[in-house]
Chain A
């Protein structure tokens, strides 16, 4: 400025001073730049404004210049300061919303409430610089209803009661909240739509602002919403399970009341005839009645087995007696059982050689195949044989029970595995000499349930030349160790 002195006039020199004040305002604190511009104006007055070297001012000429200069400098300083404040606000806002987004993301990834809560703890620790304590009261935290309250972090007794009060009232407490202002820490509820699901104790560092509290409150509310959501999911799952349980129980009750009554009625009829009409019956009649009782009781026994097994498989966490089982053996067992029930039945087996062992419950698998064969025999026509076929199919073993009966109408194929579907029994009755037998409903539903608990599937396929093929596919697992076949000269293992 001193270099330019004399070459340009005073007003232009003053503009340079305003410019430097504006630059100072950009770089330094508002108060400092305000003071700096005041000092600069006084110094300018001293150095350049005539009379030079004195603070005296010619009121008419230069006072206006100096006042304008000072005012403009200050205005610039204040404007810049305001701009900087807004920028800082926006940056902080952006940071917070980033944090919120990350927090929401982390909450979504963690599906377990305690894990979600520890994410909140980390976030609050970063924000407040102190270890927070969280209290969760969501039933999904603890399945045990009595101890549904879960505490994360250390807590003093009065802090603990503060957390509980905050949880109960669902409103924040502590400095700046208007409630319990005398407290040193903030108690912030984790609010969901239907109430508080927890509370956070945030020990504040000195100088922590209300904004920090608002931000932490938003985080807490996010966790509250997440806890509420997982609670809702859990109760929905429980309700679904209960509904399934009800459905199963209704199914079983219907099975017992309907399917079990028919053979019972027959048994009672035959037995009471034997009892009451004893001597009036011929020997042949008596034998026929006794045979009826044996047949129907056998049928009833199968029905009971099926119904009980279906009830057992419907339970949660049913334990299977799994072992390495041979398909050939299971098929062989079924053939023997069928033969024991009636030597006239024609069942053939075709089991592919070298099938892998299956990891399954043999009792259940035999029950499955037995039911399928029994069903095929009931619905087959005349004496066409029922075939049990087993072969490898990719990573599974397929076991099919095939008949040459009238088949199942396409409309019923999908529903035949529902518990009370048993085909158009009247049509079958006309074709066969036997009356339709009840029980296929429970039987097929059980077959499907057995296939499923083994990780397999049961489906019905219509055969191209008539008849049905019930096909079970079961996954093949790796057998523990191959036992090499013992050579004729080999020593025993």
Chain B
């Protein structure tokens, strides 16, 4: 059975191009050009159980796509990917903090979009992995159940904070996790402004887990947004 995608994008050319490309990839695509229409389509599709992922451009003619995200988040865990055309980082960071799963900045390639969708769907548990408790990529292996971290087969000793930071990223492997989300979940809600903690602990993690900390291949930085642990190997 094919997966259902709701594409909310007001630019006709981009909407058509993406719809065609996604259909070629085997998705069932419903597209919408306005917020009002998207809301109607969304609840209809949700009622029939045929909506697996939402792609949304928040800058719609009849309102901010963020309200659609709020509606969706109140009832459903359907993944949402934000397609942002805004140059400033704060807008998409806000949407991510409010519960969007990932983002893409226009212009983007189809390959990037498909990769983001694949990761978002995996976290939803649509595919065989229900939720990520194990992470394997290159020579790094993390098991959240046994709290074990191995690099090239050898056990790596992490401090409690380093481990919690890594575990938070592993749970959303392949997806961006914002600075704010990391600070709240690892340090606590009163630490949201302490970005310098994050920088220091990320540097420590990279020193322990990356072959070349200045050229990381696993723990990636999304400037101005947050961090992303590379998608695990299938």
Contacts and interface: CB of A to CB of B under 8 A. Distances in A.
Contacts of A488: 157, 159
A333 B221 contact: yes
Interface in B173-206: 179, 187, 195-197, 199-200, 202-204, 206
Interface string B194-234: 01110110111010000011111000111110000000000
A330 interface: yes
Contact of B107 (A297, A312, A365, A487): A297
A231 interface: no
A308 B184 CA distance: 34
A290 to B, nearest CB: 12
Given A326-B202, A328-B203, A349 B215 contact: yes
A490 interface: yes
Contacts of B196: 324, 357, 479-480, 483
Given A297-B107, A301-B107, A326-B203, A332 B221 contact: yes
Contacts of B202: 326, 329
A362 to B, nearest CB: 4
A98 interface: no
B199 A326 contact: yes
B159 A308 contact: no
Contacts of A336: 215-216, 220
B207 to A, nearest CB: 9
B89 interface: yes
Nearest to A332: B216
Interface string A330-366: 1111011000000000000111000001000111011
A335 B215 CA distance: 6
B20 interface: no
A46 B95 CA distance: 117
A363 B223 contact: yes
Given A328-B214, A335-B215, A349-B214, A486 B161 contact: yes
B133 to A, nearest CB: 21
A493 interface: yes
Interface in B153-177: 157, 159-162, 164
Contacts of A294: 109
Contacts of B89: 321, 363
A362 B224 CA distance: 6
Contacts of A492: 159-161, 164
Interface residues of B, number: 33
Contact of B161 (A321, A357, A493): A493
Nearest to B159: A486
A311 to B, nearest CB: 10
Nearest to B187: A493
A491 interface: yes
A241 interface: no
Looking at A324, A336, A349, A366, which has the most chain B CB atoms within 10 Å of its CB?
A324
Contacts of A60: none
A325 interface: yes
B217 to A, nearest CB: 8
B90 interface: yes
Contacts of B220: 332-333, 336
Contacts of B164: 492
B87 interface: yes
A126 interface: no
Interface centre among B203, B213, B215 (most CB of A within 10 A): B215
B214 to A, nearest CB: 4
A365 B89 CA distance: 14
Contacts of B223: 325, 330, 333, 362-363, 365-366
A391 B216 CA distance: 19
Interface string A449-478: 000000000000000000000000000000
Contact of B197 (A301, A331, A483): A483
A184 B92 CA distance: 69
Nearest to A304: B107
A324 B195 contact: yes
Interface in A305-325: 308-309, 312, 321, 323-325
Contacts of B206: 328
B147 to A, nearest CB: 14
Contacts of A308: 87
Contacts of A7: none
24 contacts: A294-B109, A321-B90, A321-B224, A323-B195, A323-B224, A326-B199, A328-B206, A329-B221, A330-B221, A331-B215, A332-B214, A332-B221, A335-B214, A357-B199, A357-B200, A366-B223, A479-B196, A480-B196, A485-B200, A486-B161, A488-B159, A490-B159, A492-B159, A492-B164
Interface of B: 87-90, 107, 109, 157, 159-162, 164, 179, 187, 195-197, 199-200, 202-204, 206, 212-216, 220-224
10 closest Cβ pairs, A-B complex: A362-B223, A324-B196, A492-B160, A349-B214, A329-B221, A351-B214, A326-B199, A363-B224, A486-B159, A366-B223
Interface of A: 294, 297, 301, 308-309, 312, 321, 323-326, 328-333, 335-336, 349-351, 357, 361-363, 365-366, 479-480, 483, 485-488, 490-493
Given A332-B214, A357-B196, 17 more contacts: A323-B195, A324-B195, A325-B199, A328-B203, A328-B214, A329-B202, A331-B214, A331-B215, A333-B220, A333-B222, A336-B215, A357-B199, A363-B89, A363-B224, A480-B196, A488-B157, A493-B187
